[in-house]
Amino acid sequence: MTSTISVTVWGEFRHEKKNPKVSSIYPEGMHEAIASALRRAPDLAVRTATLDEPDHGLPTDVLERTDVLVWWGHLAHQEVSDAVAAEVQRRVLEGMGLIVLHSGHYSKVFKRLMGTTCSLKWREATDKERLWNVAPSHPITEGVGDYFELPQEEMYGEPFGIPTPDELIFISWFTGGEVFRSGATWQRGHGRVFYFRPGHETYPTYHDANVQRIVLNAVRWARPTVRIKDSAPCSPPLEPLPPAPSS
Amino acid sequence: MTSTISVTVWGEFRHEKKNPKVSSIYPEGMHEAIASALRRAPDLAVRTATLDEPDHGLPTDVLERTDVLVWWGHLAHQEVSDAVAAEVQRRVLEGMGLIVLHSGHYSKVFKRLMGTTCSLKWREATDKERLWNVAPSHPITEGVGDYFELPQEEMYGEPFGIPTPDELIFISWFTGGEVFRSGATWQRGHGRVFYFRPGHETYPTYHDANVQRIVLNAVRWARPTVRIKDSAPCSPPLEPLPPAPSS
Amino acid sequence: MTSTISVTVWGEFRHEKKNPKVSSIYPEGMHEAIASALRRAPDLAVRTATLDEPDHGLPTDVLERTDVLVWWGHLAHQEVSDAVAAEVQRRVLEGMGLIVLHSGHYSKVFKRLMGTTCSLKWREATDKERLWNVAPSHPITEGVGDYFELPQEEMYGEPFGIPTPDELIFISWFTGGEVFRSGATWQRGHGRVFYFRPGHETYPTYHDANVQRIVLNAVRWARPTVRIKDSAPCSPPLEPLPPAPSS
Amino acid sequence: MTSTISVTVWGEFRHEKKNPKVSSIYPEGMHEAIASALRRAPDLAVRTATLDEPDHGLPTDVLERTDVLVWWGHLAHQEVSDAVAAEVQRRVLEGMGLIVLHSGHYSKVFKRLMGTTCSLKWREATDKERLWNVAPSHPITEGVGDYFELPQEEMYGEPFGIPTPDELIFISWFTGGEVFRSGATWQRGHGRVFYFRPGHETYPTYHDANVQRIVLNAVRWARPTVRIKDSAPCSPPLEPLPPAPSS
């Protein structure tokens, strides 16, 4: 492992091309807003990739050199090829970190790693979201207080169709009366996965300082320490075995 | 839920047709050995299904009526259609129990639900396996003592590429020097999953009383209490929301 | 195990003697309100016990015959003797179920079993509590819908100083803006522990049908299947050992 | 947090004074063997403390300045004062790391944090122990291969009376036929706890390079990132509450 963390921010980059409200908030695309905040950290080298590039911007050599992948998608989950989704899953299992944002809960990549529906309740309205920090000593919440607020966000509500997280990091309160496990981690193979709820395309969520800090913290936390290829070796005994019974 | 548990035992049923050693141990097939032991329980209604039947013996109406599915496969995991594997996964997430046996660790069904490689070390030799009961108050170990032994079994060794189990039930000791998490549970959606290691086709493992008891216990433990279809509803607020900001 | 579940409902029974508001809601004491709801279940045999009885109503023979203990305390946690707290812990570790209610989060019994501070934020005001069911297939939520509401309750807020629960059952939303893990389970030794948040003494919470149903469900879920005394045996080898090295 | 990790190695230091076999292996005491290996790491500042010092060598100012505490005890767990055990527990819950070694499984400190019996099977004989690394991407196993062996160790066998670990790191195989969860972690409050099985006093285990490496890795992993004092604040509402109902 080198001392620089190689990050790839993947964005679907479709809303921005068709919805003026989204492009006014994210003129360079949501992925660029996320990436440019990360680029301020001197220990990160950040590239971006988007759906409509060849191989969705994730050819093997990019994935091989990526330490941590950040994923935002929404409209076009089904357009992500099964082959690329399988490669991302393989790399996570080998050790690559994965940060899944907001509507990425329904991405092929996240669903393959969780094995569950990843379904939830939702509402686009005028809810405020207050994210409670339930893991104040976790590296992902470093510098975040007891809670922080997003003045407007899409509501996501429980039940959330995920396996029990290894670590629960945030629980959200919404004005309209719902709650949500809005930050959670899972180890999958040798890779660390963090799901982080906020980030609806019609709100300036990725310009929020707390959100930016949490994504940065998560990238550092998810940095791989190993790369271990899958194998299923036939393994000779380490201790003497009894003789085979005569037939 | 009726009082009878509807069980389907799925067997690949290929080894038995080509390897006389296997067919001598399991003349009716491994699935029939597993099923006939379960049929002695008055609270179970047991059918079988095999790979080479239409829809692998698992058409929708069978899956819909199955409370708990038992799965043994090895040679032909890739011949199980993606469509059937997806349907089994869907049914587990809705509530159906799933008992995965031995080489079923590499089945499409199990890998989809785990999201990981499910890889392990292995050796076909003359190891004895001793399974230690590390959850003596779990329903799956009811009637099983501190440990039990299988005089000969294939060795499976750690590391085992699974997500951290919700509950660890058995750890195996092998003569050749390895250990293995040989019984483990996961909740996935509304369904309960139990992986149970023993059952190599060239040994009479499914004639063993402890193995039979554990599979029966697991079936009863995995019985669904609900059936909840996947949904992702748009949900109206339960509390008053602020007005939309004027633009 | 007999077919009847032997339940002891323990109540501190102090508020009721000094606060007319509490005694007007619970004229027979909170423990009697909880117990009388449970007594409607034909499979339960329910007794009560209170702080000011000899041995706090929990002499050894009562504890030995109790399958599931329900605990409500608040003002006088320190008056519970260490000896009785240790006995309750011992019985849980042997298999007895334990349901800890509301302010019982700070009881000696719960803190001994958790090993943590069990601290939380709180407020006595006019909050509504909405409990979201995040485990709709868990036996504890049988018959409970997506959520239920308590029109007034004390607020408990995160962070809650507990070990990560084995299973998270409810998350609460409060009018004032907080969230709380208000239903959670832990296996401790051979016993099952359920913490359930609602139940402030100045509100009629234990007369609520959903609360009563959940306590009943929890009692049935926590019913012991074994009783295993603590032991740390010196254990002879099961396989031949090498000779001791000559010195 | 400064860049140096302040480590206190606590040793009971009784066996060494009465058993010549132990003192021949550990002439300066077991704590000194553990500490001197850690002192080779430039990022650690290591002190020791023993049972027979005033306050067992752990007065408040030492505990306050300790980032990670390493604990070995066996003969005299009951001589550790409840007050010191409570202070150690409090410091772990605030963030101090704790590494519990071998027979420390029965220490007051570990039992208070686990809440369970912490019992196990045992045998002093001529077993070899082989520790399988089941978490090859965990920081605690950095530099450790698939497994390592200790040519002679006391046997500890399952079932081990602990809460389900957050992370299982090692599983041991013993010649005599047993298995054991010999490396495991738990988060308790804001502190990280690692239990590591090897280290019987009559074997040179703490001179073993793998054991030394793992203890060093664990110290670095357990380093606190925060110090958060316990509190249970009455918390004003963040959102408007309804008026109190008129009585």
* A175-190 pLDDT per residue, tens: 999 999 999 999 999 9
- The predicted-structure confidence for C214-244, as pLDDT tens digits, reads as follows 999 999 999 999 999 999 999 999 999 999 8
> Does the beta carbon of D181 lie under 8 angstroms from any beta carbon of chain B?
yes
Interior CA angle at B42 toward B36 and B44, to 5°? 65
Residues on chain C touching A164 (C-beta within 8 angstroms):
167-168
Q: How far apart are CA C188 and CA C205, in angstroms?
A: 28
Interface probe, candidates B89, B116, B174, chain A, greatest A C-beta count within 10 A: B116
Q: How far apart are CA C189 and CA D116, in angstroms?
A: 6
- pLDDT at residue D101 is higher than 70: yes
Closest alpha carbon to B224 in B67, B22, B82: B67
Q: Which residues, 6+ apart, have CB-to-CB distance to C93 below 8 Å?
A: C188, C189, C190, C191, C230, D116, D117, D161
CB–CB contact D225 A166 (8 Å)? no
Which partners does chain D have (≥3 C-beta pairs < 8 Å)?
A, B, C
- pLDDT at residue A247 is higher than 70: no
**CATH of the domain spanning D5-115+182-222:** 3.40.50.880
- pLDDT at residue C247 is higher than 80: no
Q: Which residues, 6+ apart, have CB-to-CB distance to A83 below 8 Å?
A: none
Q: Residue C134's closest chain A neighbor by CA?
A: A159
| Domain B5-115+184-222 homologous superfamily, CATH | Class I glutamine amidotransferase (GATase) domain (3.40.50.880)
Q: Which of residues 35-94 of B touch C (CB under 8 A)?
A: none
Instruction: Report the pLDDT averaged over residues A80-101.
Output: 98
Helices (H) and strands (E) in chain C, counts: 7, 11
Amino acid identity for residue A164 in this structure = T
Element at A46 (helix H, strand E): strand A44-50
Closest alpha carbon to A22 in A90, A82, A103: A103
Residues on chain D touching A139 (C-beta within 8 angstroms):
225
Confidence of residue D93 (pLDDT cuts 50, 70, 90): very high
- Calculate how close chain B gets to A244, using CA atoms only, in Å: 6
Res B3: pLDDT: 85
Q: Do B33 and B15 contact (CB within 8 A), yes or no?
A: no
CB–CB contact C168 A172 (8 Å)? no
Residues on chain A touching C134 (C-beta within 8 angstroms):
158-160, 181
- The predicted-structure confidence for A195-242, as pLDDT tens digits, reads as follows 999 999 999 999 999 999 999 999 999 999 999 999 999 999 999 999
Query: What residues pair up with B192 in beta bridges, in sequence order?
Result: B187
Closest alpha carbon to D195 in D217, D169, D172, D220: D169
- pLDDT at residue C153 is higher than 70: yes
Q: Residue C135's closest chain A neighbor by CA?
A: A159
Q: Residue A157's closest chain C neighbor by CA?
A: C132
Q: How many residues does chain C have?
A: 247
Mean pLDDT (chain A, rounded): 97
Pairs of residues, one from chain C and one from chain D, whose beta carbons lie less than 8 Å apart: 129
Res B93: pLDDT: 98
Q: Do A38 and A9 contact (CB within 8 A), yes or no?
A: yes
- The predicted-structure confidence for B104-118, as pLDDT tens digits, reads as follows 999 999 999 999 999
**CATH of the domain spanning A5-116+182-222:** 3.40.50.880
Interface probe, candidates D131, D171, D185, D197, chain B, greatest B C-beta count within 10 A: D171
- Calculate how close chain D gets to A233, using CA atoms only, in Å: 12
pTM of the model: 0.97
Instruction: Report the pLDDT averaged over residues C159-176.
Output: 98
> Does the beta carbon of C170 lie under 8 angstroms from any beta carbon of chain A?
no
**Residue A202 in tokens:** 């019609």
> Does the beta carbon of B244 lie under 8 angstroms from any beta carbon of chain C?
no
Q: How far apart are CA D151 and CA D134, in angstroms?
A: 20
> Does the beta carbon of A172 lie under 8 angstroms from any beta carbon of chain C?
yes
Amino acid identity for residue A57 in this structure = G
Q: The complex's ipTM?
A: 0.96
Res A38: pLDDT: 98
CB–CB contact A186 B163 (8 Å)? yes
* Residue D206: count of CB within 10 angstroms of its CB: 24
CB–CB contact D137 A190 (8 Å)? yes
Closest alpha carbon to B216 in B13, B37, B57: B37
Which partners does chain A have (≥3 C-beta pairs < 8 Å)?
B, C, D
Interior CA angle at A69 toward A65 and A70, to 5°? 155
Res A244: pLDDT: 84
CB–CB contact D178 C116 (8 Å)? no
* Residue B207: count of CB within 10 angstroms of its CB: 12
* Residue B32: count of CB within 10 angstroms of its CB: 19
Res C84: pLDDT: 98
- pLDDT at residue C55 is higher than 60: yes
Query: What residues pair up with D131 in beta bridges, in sequence order?
Result: D148, D172
- pLDDT at residue D247 is higher than 70: no
- The predicted-structure confidence for C79-134, as pLDDT tens digits, reads as follows 999 999 999 999 999 999 999 999 999 999 999 999 999 999 999 999 999 999 99
- pLDDT at residue C246 is higher than 80: no
Interface probe, candidates B160, B171, B185, chain D, greatest D C-beta count within 10 A: B171
> Does the beta carbon of A112 lie under 8 angstroms from any beta carbon of chain B?
yes
Residue A110 has φ and ψ, to the nearest 5°, of: -70, -45
CB–CB contact D235 C166 (8 Å)? no
Closest alpha carbon to C210 in C218, C221, C202: C218
State the pairing for strand pair B68-72/A5-11. Answer: unpaired
Interface probe, candidates A150, A156, A171, chain C, greatest C C-beta count within 10 A: A171
Q: How far apart are CA D13 and CA D79, in angstroms?
A: 12
CB–CB contact D158 B130 (8 Å)? no
Element at B7 (helix H, strand E): strand B5-11
CB–CB contact C119 D232 (8 Å)? yes
Interface probe, candidates B116, B131, B160, B179, chain D, greatest D C-beta count within 10 A: B179
Give the residue carrying structure tokens 């509450």.
D241
Residue D37 has φ and ψ, to the nearest 5°, of: -65, -40
Confidence of residue D5 (pLDDT cuts 50, 70, 90): very high
**What is the side-by-side strand order in the sheet with D5-11?**
D44-50, D5-11, D68-72, D97-101, D191-196, D179-188, D167-174, D129-133, D147-150
Closest alpha carbon to C193 in C71, C42, C87, C34: C71
**Residue A209 in tokens:** 């300082």
State the pairing for strand pair A97-101/A44-50. Answer: unpaired
> Does the beta carbon of D139 lie under 8 angstroms from any beta carbon of chain A?
yes
> Does the beta carbon of A239 lie under 8 angstroms from any beta carbon of chain B?
yes
Query: What residues pair up with D219 in beta bridges, in sequence order?
Result: none
- Helix or strand or coil: residue C158? coil
Res C3: pLDDT: 84
Q: Do A185 and A214 contact (CB within 8 A), yes or no?
A: no
Q: How far apart are CA B199 and CA B14, in angstroms?
A: 15
Amino acid identity for residue D179 in this structure = V
- pLDDT at residue B247 is higher than 70: no
Res D3: pLDDT: 85
| Domain C5-118+183-222 homologous superfamily, CATH | Class I glutamine amidotransferase (GATase) domain (3.40.50.880)
The fraction of chain B above a pLDDT of 70, given in percent, is 98
Q: Of D139, D189, D239, which has the smallest distance from its Cβ to A225's Cβ? A: D139
- The predicted-structure confidence for B197-234, as pLDDT tens digits, reads as follows 999 999 999 999 999 999 999 999 999 999 999 999 99
Q: Of A126, A155, A166, which has the smallest distance from its Cβ to B243's Cβ? A: A126
Q: How far apart are CA D167 and CA D134, in angstroms?
A: 10
DSSP string, D111-172: HHHH-S----EEE-SS--EEEEES-TTSGGGTT--SEEEESS--EEESPP--PPPSEEEEEE
Pairs of residues, one from chain A and one from chain D, whose beta carbons lie less than 8 Å apart: 30
DSSP string, A88-111: HHHHHHHT-EEEEEGGGGGSHHHH
CB–CB contact A136 C130 (8 Å)? no
Q: Residue B178's closest chain D neighbor by CA?
A: D173
